[in-house]
Amino acid sequence: MISIILPAYNAEKYISKTIQSILNQTYKDIELLIINDGSNDGTDIICREFIKKDSRVRYFFQNNRGVSYTRNFGLSTAKGDYIMFADADDIYMPNMVERMYDNILSSDVDAVKCSYRNKSGKKIKDNTLEGIFYKNEIENKIVPDILNGKIMSYLWTILIKKEYVDSFIDSLSIYEDVLFYLSFLFKINKICFIQDELYIYNDLNENSLTHKNYKNNIINMLLTVDYFHSILGEKELEDYIVIIDSRILTNIINYIFMIQYFQSKKDAISFFEIISKDDNFHKIQSNYSSKYLSFKEKVFNYALINNKYFLFNMLCDIKNIKRKG
């Protein structure tokens, strides 16, 4: 049996179609674990209706604890030998589970990763790989590409044997997916990548799990630094620490820009001055490699680190014009 874990929070607008897309799969031997993370809209009523209609649905309600805790609850109660995930505003293609399961059996692998498409029609950059990759290739090719974002660590594009699954870190709400990928990629022996677009990601939903407050995103990213350093340090993969530190720095720079765009330059600079005192921020500043940053990101970083706020303001004005135009 395959256990599909579906966290839900205030998802009344979309969740019915999401659940239907999962229950209407061509492969029927599934259980759908819906964990309502303290929704205060109509999500609870909708989910309880599905319990009456389909015995494969198992529904749980909890006080709001965050997505990582919620997924961990799903993992702890899952009865299947295989694990999949979904977000409450997305759609499974009708043959998603069947295609993934067929591949994990026919390829004799421990995990399968598929492609997806955006609901908006916007082109994706993920999953250019295809075929079976073995342990050495996983560590030397897949892991660094996960860390630098060339391969996206979307949980809803994987089917994995439960025996290789570790829990999420409850306190994290960003990059928790990357850390989850690292935990199983270092364990498995083989993984299969397929090009089938089996999942429809709702990139139009501004209230989804991936759309958060930019300041909170930065704070949460800094919380992940020690976890990445610990996991990769144990493997003596110092070059990979440089990769993830560079990625975190790049995202911080971009989020600082978004803060000034949606709030003010003064607000962005004030917040940067706060995080610049953080120990983990100093770690990534001393460890990143400029080759992973674009020219604009290098200049932004230089301006912020050296308190060249006139330069920062000028760069923001230029970028704001381009963004609006």
Split at pLDDT 50, 70, 90, the class of 126 is low
> Which is more confident, 31 or 264?
31
pLDDT at 309 over 50: yes
Question: What percentage of the chain reaches a pLDDT higher than 70?
Answer: 96
CA distances 256 to 42, 128, 264, 289, 322, Å, are 35, 30, 10, 19, 17
Per residue in 208-242, pLDDT (tens digit) is 444 458 999 999 999 999 999 999 999 999 999 99
| pLDDT on residue 278 | 95
| pLDDT on residue 206 | 63
Mean pLDDT, rounded, for 56-75: 97
pLDDT at 321 over 90: no
Is the alpha carbon torsion for 203, 207, 209, 210 positive or negative? Answer: positive
What are the structure tokens assigned to 137, written together? 């290739």
Per residue in 146-197, pLDDT (tens digit) is 999 999 999 999 999 999 999 999 989 899 999 999 999 999 999 999 999 9
Average predicted confidence (pLDDT) for the chain: 93
Per residue in 98-108, pLDDT (tens digit) is 999 999 999 99
What is the C-alpha to C-alpha distance for residues 130 and 207, in angstroms, rounded to an integer?
Answer: 32
Nearest to 225 by CA among 272, 169, 265: 169
| pLDDT on residue 127 | 56
Q: Where are the domains of the chain?
A: 2-90+103-201, 214-324
Question: What percentage of the chain reaches a pLDDT higher than 90?
Answer: 82
pLDDT at 60 over 90: yes
pTM of the model: 0.92
Architecture of the domain made up of 2-90+103-201 = Alpha-Beta Complex (3.90)
| pLDDT on residue 307 | 87
In terms of DSSP H, where are the helices of the chain?
15-23, 43-53, 67-77, 96-106, 135-137, 143-147, 176-185, 214-234, 238-262, 265-275, 279-287, 295-305, 309-324
CA dihedral of 115, 17, 169, 194, whole degrees rounded to 10: -10
